Amino acid sequence: MSESRTPQVLPTRKCTSLLEKFSEADVPTGRGVLRTVVFREKRNGREHVALVVGEVQGLEGVPVRVHSECLTSEVFGSLKCDCREQLDRALDFVTQNGCGVVLYLRQEGRGIGLGNKIKAYALQSEGLDTYEANRQLGFPDDLRSYDIAAEMLRLLGVRSVDLITNNPLKIAGLVEEGIPVRRRIPSRTEHNPHNVGYLRTKRERTGHLIELFAEDDDDTEAKVG
């Protein structure tokens, strides 16, 4: 009797490439030089940025922040969220560490875009929370995907990451896209009267590991901030 040859099911990932590496230069900043690498999405020309410190090619456990664009806080100083502070603290961490990557993804408003985020803010001023406002506009809670981030990391030669985040879905998203997450580095920011409700909602509704109050402190892990 001939040997049965049941095909083995192997883990797969998309073979198609979503991105091209478009340009690269050293940019001096107050924190030091950031190697600024721009990737372009082939399907729509959208540009995403990797800010690289040190030599990360072929390394395991590279400190990485996967950051989503937030024009309102990062450029205009909005106090409604903690995005700008998270970005600043991640840049502090990778520059002080001498090695790491901050990916700046053009996924404004958790992927719904700036105009829709401002529509969501208008609904929030009527009493809806951040997720209810998204739903009212016909969007899911979070429209982001991590395929672009994963491909950027692969193109940079990063083998596994220590992810700077409080968002468990971000960890799961990267792992699903084939990037091993060795551990989480918590990102701690200050809350204010304008963002405390938003942070609390993220903690309660989507399990964000946000330390809001002194009793949440756990000094056993490395932290950003």
Ligand X SMILES: Nc1nc2c(ncn2[C@@H]2O[C@H](COP(=O)(O)OP(=O)(O)OP(=O)(O)O)[C@@H](O)[C@H]2O)c(=O)[nH]1
φ, ψ at 108 (rounded to 5°): -55, 140
Question: Please, which of residues 144-203 interact with ligand X by CB under 6 A?
Answer: 165-167, 170, 187, 202
CA distance 99 to 16: 29
Tell me which of Zn ion, ligand X, none is bound by residue 112, counting a contact when its beta carbon lies within the kind-specific cut-off of 5 to 8 angstroms.
ligand X
**From 19, 69, 173, 181, residue interacting with ligand X (rule: CB under 6 A):** 69
Beta bridge partners of 37: 24, 50
The single residue of 89, 110, 142, 184 carrying the catalytic annotation is: 142
**From 117, 119, 184, 191, residue interacting with ligand X (rule: CB under 6 A):** 117
Roughly what angle, to the nearest 10 degrees, separates helices 147-156 and 168-176?
60
**From 70, 158, 171, 174, residue interacting with ligand X (rule: CB under 6 A):** 70
Question: Please, which of residues 38-97 interact with Zn ion by CB under 5 A?
Answer: 70, 73, 81, 83
CA distance 57 to 157: 4
Nearest to 153 by CA among 174, 132, 129: 174
Our CB check for ligand X shows the closer of 65 and 95 to be 65
For tokens 């056993």, what's the residue?
220
**From 50, 64, 81, 94, residue interacting with ligand X (rule: CB under 6 A):** 81
Q: Is 144 a catalytic residue?
A: yes
* Shortest distance (Å) from residue 26 CB to ligand X: 25
What the block records as the tokens of 152 is 């950027």
* Shortest distance (Å) from residue 84 CB to Zn ion: 7
Q: How many residues bind Zn ion (CB under 5 A)?
A: 4
What the block records as the tokens of 35 is 């190697």
Tell me which of ligand X, Zn ion, none is bound by residue 48, counting a contact when its beta carbon lies within the kind-specific cut-off of 5 to 8 angstroms.
none
> What's the Cα-to-Cα distance from 12 to each of 64, 169, 178, 207, rounded to whole Å?
24, 21, 9, 28
Greatest alpha-carbon pair distance for the chain in Å reads 75
Q: Are 54 and 99 in contact (CB under 8 A)?
A: yes
Our CB check for ligand X shows the closer of 33 and 172 to be 172
199: contact with Zn ion by CB under 5 A? no
- In the complex, the residues that contact ligand X under the rule CB under 6 A are 67-70, 81, 83, 86, 107-110, 112, 117, 120, 130, 134, 165-167, 170, 187, 202, 208
